[in-house]
Copies of this chain bind each other. A is one copy, B any other.
Amino acid sequence: MSNLPKNFRQKIHKGVFTSQTAGLCPGYAQGNLVVLPREYAFEFLLFAQRNPKACPLLEVVESGKFLTRTASGESVTTAIPKYRVYREGVLDQEMSSIDHLWQDDFVTFILGCSFTFESALVDENILMRHIEDNKNVAMYETTLPCRPAGIFKGTMVVSMRPIKYTEVMKVIKITSHYSAVHGAPVHIGNPEAIGIYDLKHPDFGEFVEVKDDEVPVFWACGVTPQAIAMKVKPSLMISHAPGHMLITDIANFTLKE
């Protein structure tokens, strides 16, 4: 029972659980969070629409509202273990509630997260090494361009998972059925080809070693909006801390195509 999202969210709501969420509540989708003042909402929604691999939309909560459907009736202000507040593109604070910062003109975007398809991979006996090691997934900035929309422009952030050479095709096949949560990989192997020159030092999350019989496989990542916000510098943007996701009530199998 404690593995049910709504029970787990109680711990998050109370501020008891403030860690990263990889591997938690298996079978349920997790989501990235982006909160922006309404003046940025059209251009960000258009950015998400144009970059569905990096920003697959699960839900938009309009200005004036703060309860989510994807995490039944939860307030977006306390539903996430750790938030990040960016002001003028600079990471200003991390906190476990944004109740005191909430403004009526905030629009909330919940984006699919690759933690979702990890359940499907684990079910097929594909080892997720960061979960085994109880680590956050490794995330990197790349040179892969996003399609711009208004002020939102920049490059993609990717998550990396070491996959056994013999299992790469199987992993592509499985994840390609989950386009609502980043879908198939965007790159396989040679990190330098997408502008990653130091695999051991990820830009977000924790490094996971790539063993001799493995290849690094890269997926578009919902941290992309944060990396872009740091360059575009909206007056205010609130997001989840990387790896600290919204655990939704959406069963993973319902996202399979």
Contact = CB atoms under 8 A, between A and B. Distances in A.
A45 interface: yes
A38 interface: yes
Interface in A42-68: 42-43, 45-46, 49, 57, 60, 62
Contacts of A42: 38, 41-42, 45, 107
What is the count of identical protomers in the complex?
Answer: 2
Contact of A46 (B62, B149, B150): B62
A57 B49 contact: yes
Contact of A60 (B38, B46, B57, B62): B46
Nearest to A41: B42
Contacts of A60: 46, 49
Interface residues of A, number: 13
Interface string A14-44: 0000000000000000000000001001110
Most buried by B among A38, A42, A45: A42
Contacts of A43: 62
B46 A49 contact: no
A173 to B, nearest CB: 18
Nearest to A57: B49
16 contacts: A38-B42, A41-B42, A42-B42, A42-B45, A42-B107, A43-B62, A45-B45, A45-B46, A45-B49, A46-B60, A46-B62, A49-B49, A49-B57, A49-B60, A62-B149, A62-B150
